[in-house]
Structure 1
Amino acid sequence: MQDIDMQDESVRRKIFWLLQRISSYSLWHKKRDAFRTFAAAYETAVKTWSPKDPEMVSADHLATIYEILKQYDTGLDELSLGRRFVWRKDEALERAVTRTGYLSDYFYKNPNYWERGGQFLPYPPKVDALARLLRASMYQADDAPLEVAGTSDQFARLQDPEWLLDKSQYNYSFYELEFPVFPSVLPEMPEPRGLMIRSGEEVPCDGIWEPMQAESASLRDAQAMRNAGCFNYFVAQIRAPNLSLIDEEDDNWDLVPVPTHWRLLWEDTRYRDGIVPDESAYFLAPRRDSQLPDAAFVQPVRTSELCPVSGEWRTDEFGGKTVRVEEGQVMPDMLVTDNLGDRMVHWVTWVLVREI
């Protein structure tokens, strides 16, 4: 893990920008749209895969999937008006995140690949394609705005900046989350507000808060405080959480709650006027090497996977077919008429023949 210093101005700007991004309407709208794409593909799989297929996915997940979609729609309606209570315990977007986490953990309970809430081998290709669609709706630390509730320790969700800035933290056992592309020039940090609260006290407003450590007996004197860790995003009316410390005694390595002071860096008042500004800078595309031929270095993709490049794609299976697909859309299947005249859905591999 990299050593990332919260005293470094560039680090502070990146963390601040990422927390604004994670709590933006546009990111949660993209999460909802990606989950809707997954839901459609999963429903199609349940309806079209043969019940005799040993890799068949469970129809039991559909109820959870429909619930998550409903929570996203409800939460986004509120968030578009600046009502951020939707991230509090048992509210719409909190439910969407926690239920998605459950769905991911129990996605494919085939004992050849899964045991006790954990995947231990790569899924079969068709199942993995669906799993990747699900993960397309997930972002690193997208639970950052959620209320910390339900435990006596009340640990802050973001303890270290490495969780957001170390690329290795985005790599999981069987998948990888996309690392964000930062603007060439990051906005300057705002001047800290004078508002200070302590762990356990009620958070008075939505926004980004910095943990602070007292350097003198004057605990409320901002000049006598220094940074104590990673910024966090808090929603109004929750209880400010603790930081954590590893207790190395007796080789237990237990996490110990450490009460701290939190200083308001930025109050989030976005969308209260019902207007969502242009937030496209939160989703800059990675730079592509212009020296590489357009199609030659783009990997083939399977039905239900997301199209990586807009262009003309061809499959030579089942007689062949060429289609035009836009980046981010789901790669199509093939509807083939068999010898009995029945039309059957088949998953195929698509190869890029021309980028557009």
Structure 2
Amino acid sequence: MSSFIFVAGRNDDAARDRAFYLLKKYTSATSLRRAIDLYDGFLRDFEREIRKPENVEISLLGKPIDYGEDLQRFLEYLKPMEYARPLLTNPARRAEALGMLREAIRFSAYIWGRRYEEIGAGDSDSLFYKLGYRWFCYESIGVFGKADLAATLISLMCKTASKNGIKRGVVSLGGTRESRRVMCWTYESIFFDTEPRNSIPPIVFPTHLPPCPPKNEESEGQVWSGQPIPVTGIWEPWPVGPTAGVRCPNYYLAGDTASEYQTEGTDTSEAVRWRLIWKDTRYSSGGIPVEEEDYFLPEPVVIESRVRRAWPGEICPQTGEWFANHLNQKVRVAAGDPMPGPERSPGGNLVIWYLNEQATEPEPELLPEDAVAMLGYNPVIEPKPVYCKSGEACPKTGLWKPIVPAGIRGYESFTRPGNLGMMPLRVQAGARMPNFGAYTDEDEARIVWKWIGEQGEYDHPNAARPS
């Protein structure tokens, strides 16, 4: 949870400045156009990937699976976004544009809904999973990570510029499905950026934060809860009680109904007096204000031909030292092993591993075939890695090490240093590979065992002997 949640009577100038900045950012044309661009980029990437020959999947009927229908359905949600895009800087039609985006965000419920749950889109052997799809939208990466971020930005607008005066949001106080979830005042919930489940991008403020306008001490023009808002802008709630401080400012569209206020941590709402502190005239000229240029930092440029990168859970393409900026961590991973997790940093950023070329020895080059024929052997040929899944017949006697992919339930516990469950186990060829002990059958199916050698002093008690 961010440290500037509003507390009645203790909302200092710094907290007001930050809230003022976020309310403008989350309702800005720049933020919403970025969401539209992300969704458009998702569609382009998805179309390119499903047309690649190496991504063709064969159904149980022996025919290639056609994802063209999925693409067409995804494209339908882009139409209202394209209509809304030019209207976002039209003051007379901004409310109409925001309404179109509220309709378009239904793509998130469709993509991460029942249809794709039933066909196993989140299974590790599916094409969707390869493209970054995960069961929980906030865990998605790669191609589908773009769609999730687009939904996140539009959702923030929906919470900030409410409809029909409904100003409440659900906030999770922890990072798991079992974590306590509470209803809270939406304009405080948009500050809960430390839990990915809340789908709020990490909050970053500019070096020079624009100041929030001063409190409106005048009662003239104030609007009571339940009355219509006459002017689009940011309004500040004044409680009836003289001892309670001014509460968190909120963004309203002209025509909205002024809502009651529910103080963070309580279950009761109270009637308040809303007073205008900032009239939204940002797009009166039809252009984008200069201050919005700093809302999103440019994406880091990665030269594919020189820098190798991989996502958590993907198979490592090259043995060497890999580093993740958002984790401030370096690891050594062997080619063929899954890249380690987590998929998001504690701050909610997507984790990408980059190969440290300077600390990585070049892979050996094979000798030409004629040279191998002269020598009678190839001195640089290395044994191909051997893998096996739980329950399958062990293909080779020796020590087997479990590889736990990021994203399964209990990942942090399983991979904690000293966990005996991660110790190599000796299994005889032909025996049934033991179960790792994942919480669900779906997670167990994602566990891969890797053969690491023939030397060992013990057999796994669960390994079935060949008859």
Whether the aligned pair in 1 keeps the contact of 2:239 and 2:271 (CA below 8 Å) is no
Is 1:95 matched up with 2:103? yes
**1:13 CA displacement:** 0.6
**1:130 CA displacement:** 2.7
CA 1:37–1:211: 2 relative to 1, 3 Å: same
**1:197 CA displacement:** 1.2
Whether the aligned pair in 2 keeps the contact of 1:198 and 1:262 (CA below 8 Å) is yes
Give the AA of the match of 2:31.
Answer: L
**1:18 CA displacement:** 0.7
Whether the aligned pair in 1 keeps the contact of 2:239 and 2:245 (CA below 8 Å) is yes
Q: Quick one: higher RCO (CA 8 Å, sep 6+), 1 or 2?
A: 1
State which of 18, 27, 38 in structure 2 corresponds to 1:23: 27
CA 1:312–1:40: 2 relative to 1, 3 Å: closer
Give the AA of the match of 1:272.
Answer: S
Give the structure 2 partner of residue 272 of structure 1. 284
Residues in 2 aligned to 1:104 and 1:26: alpha-carbon distance in whole angstroms:
25
Is 1:313 matched up with 2:310? no
CA 1:130–1:212: 2 relative to 1, 3 Å: same
Give the structure 2 partner of residue 294 of structure 1. none
Instruction: Specify the SS of the correspondent of 1:311.
Output: coil
Give the AA of the match of 2:238.
Answer: M
1:174-212 deviations in Å (ceiling 9; x for gaps): xx7531321112111113454321222111111112222
Residues in 2 aligned to 1:246 and 1:240: alpha-carbon distance in whole angstroms:
18
Give the structure 2 partner of residue 10 of structure 1. 14
Give the AA of the match of 2:252.
Answer: F
Give the structure 1 partner of residue 233 of structure 2. 207
Whether the aligned pair in 1 keeps the contact of 2:239 and 2:246 (CA below 8 Å) is yes
Correspondence list, 1:96-111, <5 A: 96-97=104-105, 99-106=106-113, 108-110=116-118
**1:104 CA displacement:** 4.6
Residues in 2 aligned to 1:145 and 1:179: alpha-carbon distance in whole angstroms:
17
Is 1:135 matched up with 2:141? no
**1:17 CA displacement:** 0.2
Give the structure 1 partner of residue 47 of structure 2. 43
How many residues matched? 273
Give the structure 1 partner of residue 212 of structure 2. 189
State which of 78, 82, 96 in structure 2 corresponds to 1:86: 96
Instruction: Specify the SS of the correspondent of 1:212.
Output: strand
Structure 1 residue ranges, 4+ long, deviating more than 6 angstroms after superposition = 53-57, 245-248
TM-score by length of 2: 0.50
Residues in 1 aligned to 2:202 and 2:167: alpha-carbon distance in whole angstroms:
25
Residues in 1 aligned to 2:235 and 2:66: alpha-carbon distance in whole angstroms:
43
Give aligned-pair identity as a percent: 22
CA 1:210–1:53: 2 relative to 1, 3 Å: farther
1:318-343 deviations in Å (ceiling 9; x for gaps): xx9xxxxxxxxxxxxxxxxxxxxxxx
Higher gyration radius (CA): 2
Residues in 2 aligned to 1:213 and 1:133: alpha-carbon distance in whole angstroms:
41
Residues in 2 aligned to 1:40 and 1:144: alpha-carbon distance in whole angstroms:
28
Instruction: Specify the SS of the correspondent of 1:30.
Output: helix
CA 1:27–1:247: 2 relative to 1, 3 Å: closer
Give the structure 2 partner of residue 283 of structure 1. 296
Which has the higher mean CA deviation after the structures are superposed, 105-114 or 40-49? 105-114
**1:86 CA displacement:** 2.6
Give the structure 2 partner of residue 335 of structure 1. none
**1:85 CA displacement:** 1.0
Whether the aligned pair in 1 keeps the contact of 2:90 and 2:286 (CA below 8 Å) is yes
Residues in 2 aligned to 1:247 and 1:18: alpha-carbon distance in whole angstroms:
21
Give the structure 2 partner of residue 172 of structure 1. 197
**1:154 CA displacement:** 3.2
Residues in 1 aligned to 2:107 and 2:261: alpha-carbon distance in whole angstroms:
26
Give the structure 1 partner of residue 329 of structure 2. none
Unaligned runs of 5+ in 2: 123-127, 134-141, 170-183, 310-314, 319-352, 359-467
Give the structure 2 partner of residue 231 of structure 1. 249
Whether the aligned pair in 2 keeps the contact of 1:196 and 1:262 (CA below 8 Å) is yes
Residues in 2 aligned to 1:246 and 1:191: alpha-carbon distance in whole angstroms:
23
CA RMSD of aligned residues (A): 3.9
**1:50 CA displacement:** 2.0
Give the AA of the match of 1:105.
Answer: W
TM-score by length of 1: 0.63
Which has the higher mean CA deviation after the structures are superposed, 156-165 or 267-276? 156-165
